[in-house]
Each structure stands twice: as structure tokens, then as C-alpha cells.
Amino acid sequence: MTRDADGDMLSWDESVFRDESVFEIDYVPETFRHRESQLESLKYALRPAVRGSRPLNTMVRGPPGTGKTTAVQKLFSELRTRTEVRTVHVNCQVDSTRYAVFSRLFEGIFDYEPPSSGISFKKLFGQITDQLVDDDEGLVVALDDVNYLFYENEASDTLYSLLRAHEAHSGAKIGVIIVSSDLSLDAIDELDGRVQSVFRPEEVYFPVYDATEIYDILTERAARGFHDGVIEPTELELVADLTAESGDLRVGIDLLRRAGLNAEMRASRSIVAGDVESAYDKSKYVHLSRSLRGLSASERALVRVLAEHDGERAGPVYEAFQAETDLGYTRYSEIINKLDRLGVIETAYADVEGRGRSREISLAYDAEAILDRL
């Protein structure tokens, strides 16, 4: 494709995209660069499953947008070619209770969802393990965004059931991969003692991509997703620099897509710096948007109250939240803690004259950006 200087504009039925799906956040690339050592560590932990044994349990940690989910998905894709190993990927941001997790496992094994009511956890658990034993298959479970199970105090019960499955049902071979983007979460320390005694995972850390790695990955993604000549190295470097500022590769992938859409809005066959810069105003909030999508109605209500009362003390915020939801202070405090751990807000304790210590709450993002995404 030619640059705009040639005066060759995009017609209404043309696109700058060769394959727009390449820029979806959950797209799994054919080649997965700069994570070779992490992939090898994960393969080491999963190799026993291929031999018919229980795989090693694994804890995958790292900041958001560092390739953790993609690595697990690529390995699961390889394991699915092995008839003796089943894999189930659970998004704990969506399925944040033990029952919800095991319902997802049931669906992964039987290819249909369990009844929405009338089936106890014990029966659900038994049907899953019985099927695994009958088929003589191992199961590898990835609890992605496992931090959400901790936020809901469901992590210990969920892991205990998975890790003790072979004792409750002889012959059941289940391995667990927990994936967390919350670096403040010490998963082992926060588990019950009964779980700590049996959960000794291999640890695999995914660091932030450096600027060179980001440019390399985004260049390959752009080559697959755009037609030739749509984006030049100068604009790609700008995308990579903005991505490096956030440390989240997902920002760069979203930024490429939005920049392409901006070019199409101008009926242009090529992306210019202005397309990238205007797209960044939205792409930089990828992490915020993802965090908000996983919140319940009452949690979103509190976020809205916080944004509308930005800068006010905790007292008026709680009063406004209670008036809207009729929920008490205990639940209010639990949600505040969760939002703090998600990085949506920041909290700190300060001395207040005549009142002792009080928790101050501030938004981690611009209030208008939060309200727009709610």
C-alpha cells in the first residue's frame, strides 16, 4: 500500500487490516517471542502428565501484559493433542467461587454446563473425578487471575479440593497452575495451613518486556495484522515507546488496532503519528477497563460513588455508597480492599486531629476516565 503523499485514499469497502483479529487481547500468536525460558519451565512441570502421572503444580506470576496467559494457552493447545491429558482454563475474574470453578471444570470435561441448581458441590466434584478415573486421563487446571479467588476468600477451599482430589478419589490425577498479576499477593502465605502443607508449586516469573522486546513483538503483530505499508518503523517506534511507559504489552496491541481504525476514519491507507497519539488516550486505560469489567454490581456502585466524590473523606463516601446499595460497613470495607489490590484506588492511613487514624482513599485514575468506562 502507498503512503498518503501519493493521494491514494482508502475506498469505503477497503481496510488497512489484513487480519484484525490479530489485535484482539486474547489472540494467541503462532510465534511467542522472548518467553522461551518460562515456556521451558512450564513444560517441565507439565511433562509428567504426558507420561500418565500427576503434573507438578505451578505458580505463574508477573505484572499485567507480560505473556502469562498466552504461555499457558499455547501449552494447553499442545497438550490437547494428547488424548491422555485434559486441560481447562478458568478465568477467575469471571468464575470467582469454588463452585463456579468446578462448574467450569465440569463443562470442560463433559462439554456441557452442569445444572444451574439442584446439584451439590460434592456431587459435582464426584462426577468430575469419576470421569477422569474412568477415562484414565489426567487434568491440568489453570486458575488464571487467581488473585480474584483470594479477594473473595475462595482460594483455599478451591485449591484444597483440587489438591486433595487424588485422596478423595483414588486414581484422580489433577495438576494446578495458578496465574496472578497481583505482585502484592503472597499466595502461599495467604492460604490456609491445610493447603500450604500440600501446595509446593514450581514458580515461574514473567518480567516486564523491555523496549526492544516490545518493539520486536509489536512489529511481528503489525506484519500479521496490517497490509504492507500501513505502518512504518517510525510509527511503530512511537507505539513501542508508549507501550514501554505502561509496561503492559496489551496497551501496545490495543494501540495498534485503534491507530488502524483512526487511519480508516480518515480514509487513509497508512497510520501517522497523530493516529497513534489520539488512540493512546483510550488504549492506556486497557488495564482499568479490564478490572472494571470483572466487578459485581455493588462493587461498580462503589467505584462510581468514589469517582463522583473524588477527593472527599471516607465518611461521606461510605454514606453515599450505603444510600445507593443499602450495604453495611463491613461489605464496604471489603470492596475498598479489593479495589485497592486491583489498582483502581489507592489507600493510606493518616492521622486526623481528634479522631485518631483514618483511611484516606484516592483514585488511581482520572475520575472522568473511570466514569466513562463504567
Q: What is the Cα–Cα distance from 373 to 113, expressed in whole angstroms?
A: 31
Q: What is the pLDDT of residue 364?
A: 92
pLDDT of the residue at 352: 61
Clarify whether residues 40 and 184 are in a common domain. yes
Compute the distance between CA of residue 3 and CA of residue 269 in angstroms, rounded to an integer. Answer: 7
Same domain, residue pair 217 and 137: no
Based on the fold, state whether residues 222 and 117 are members of the same structural domain: no
Total count of residues recorded for the chain: 374
CB contact at 8 A, 284 and 309: no
Does residue 240 belong to any structural domain of this protein?
A: yes
Report pLDDT for 353. 60
Among candidate residues 250, 284, 318, the one where a domain is terminated:
284
Give CA 115 to chain center in angstroms.
27
Tell me what pLDDT residue 357 has.
65
Q: Which of 205, 220, 239 is the last residue of a domain?
A: 205
| 72 neighbors 177 (Cβ within 8 angstroms) | yes
Distance, CA of 57 to CA of 18 (rounded, Å): 40
Return the pLDDT at 117.
79
Give the pLDDT of residue 351: 64
Domain assignment of residue 302, yes or no:
yes
The whole domain housing 122 covers 36-205
Q: Structural domain tally of the chain?
A: 3
| Cβ proximity of 271 and 16 under 8 Å | yes
Pairwise CA distance, residues 61 & 79, whole Å: 21
86 shares its domain with 123: yes
Whether residues 151 and 267 share a domain: the answer is no
- Answer yes or no: is 199 within a domain: yes
CB 142 within 8 A of CB 74: no
Same domain, 198 and 108: yes
**CATH code of 233's domain:** 1.10.8.60
Decide if 153 contacts 190 (C-beta within 8 A).
Answer: no
Q: Residues 6 or more apart from 11 whose CB is under 8 A from it?
A: 267
Cβ-based burial of 46 (10 A; exposed 0-12, middle 13-18, buried ≥19):
buried
End-to-end CA distance of the chain: 39
Q: What is the CATH number of the domain that holds 343?
A: 1.10.10.10
Reported pTM: 0.89
Q: Mean pLDDT in runs of 10 for the chain (374 residues)?
A: 56 93 92 94 94 94 96 92 88 96 96 88 94 94 97 96 90 96 93 94 97 96 97 98 94 97 96 97 92 92 93 84 93 92 85 65 92 92
Same domain, 278 and 313: no
Give the residue from 284, 309, 332 where a domain finishes: 284
Longest dimension (CA), the chain: 71
pLDDT confidence of residue 5: 45
348/248 same-domain check? no
Domain match, 246 and 322 both: no
